[in-house]
Amino acid sequence: MIPEEYEKGYKYFLGNKIDLSLKPLIPREETEYWVSLILKEIKEGSKCLDLFSGSGCIGLSILKAIKNSYCDFGEIEDKFIEQIKVNLEGIDENRYNIIKTDVFSNIEGKYDYILANPPYVAEKRINEVGEDVLEYEPRVALFSGENGMDAITKIINEGFNYLNINGLLVIEHDEDQKKEIEELILKNPYSKYEFHKDQFNKYRFVKIYV
């Protein structure tokens, strides 16, 4: 059965109507939850990166909520780059840029905040994923290697190169990946990190500081 959000063609995310006509990953309420918390920390005038942007819902929320903020949108799929453009209609073009990039491959400069909702479902757990999700949602936005860690590993191993002093990297992840993520962070030059639970009491995102 086609997901309701695709049938309607949109979903609201933090009060913003997100067009889904090109069928990017449907924004999840868990993502909406942690983004709402991070928005309280982002300072006016900050430079941000929405990595694995998909629909652009995270970066759009930043631009709408944070005065004088700037946001780059990083996405590899051409179709979703077009989707981001649709969702940014009406936003001052001087406040954002859309970059075709595989993780950090085409990213230059440094940011105050990097927010990433990468693919993190383990391929070995494909049988646990709902049929509707598998049939209709983009697999490239869901799966990332046998353990779901391929994209997250790259983000953590390279992310500090793209953050300003006191910059913050936020990554959404699966609860089962917490230990492996912690081990990766400790191998890299970050100053501190914090794991946080979502509204369902599951570890869902990590905040990593340089």
State the virtual CA torsion across 2, 133, 99, 13 in degrees, nearest 10.
70
How far apart (Å, rounded) are the C-alpha atoms in residues 182 and 187? 9
Question: Above 90 in pLDDT, residue 177?
Answer: yes
Q: C-alpha distances in angstroms, 17 versus 11, 55, 93, 196? A: 6, 11, 19, 27
* pLDDT per residue as tens digits for the range 118-149: 999 988 888 888 988 889 999 889 999 899 99
Q: State mean pLDDT over 88-102.
A: 98
pLDDT at residue 149 in the model: 97
Domains of the chain and any CATH numbers: 4-209 (3.40.50.150)
Give the whole-angstrom CA distance, residue 159 versus residue 162.
6
Residue 33 CB-density burial (10 A; 0-12 exposed, 13-18 middle, 19+ buried): middle
Q: Quote the CA–CA distance of 121 and 151 in Å, as a whole number.
A: 10
Q: Which segments of 30-124 are extended strands (E)? A: 47-51, 70-75, 96-100, 111-116
In contact, 176 and 199? CB cutoff 8 Å = no
* Mean per-residue pLDDT, 105-123: 96
pLDDT at position 181: 98
How confident is the model over 34-60, as a mean pLDDT? 98
Q: Are 157 and 136 in contact (CB under 8 A)?
A: no
As a whole number, mean pLDDT of residues 44-63 equals 98
pLDDT of residue 115: 98
pLDDT above 90 for 28: yes
Helices first, then strands: H and E counts in the chain: 7, 9
Mean per-residue pLDDT, 49-57: 98
Residue 13 is predicted with a pLDDT of 98
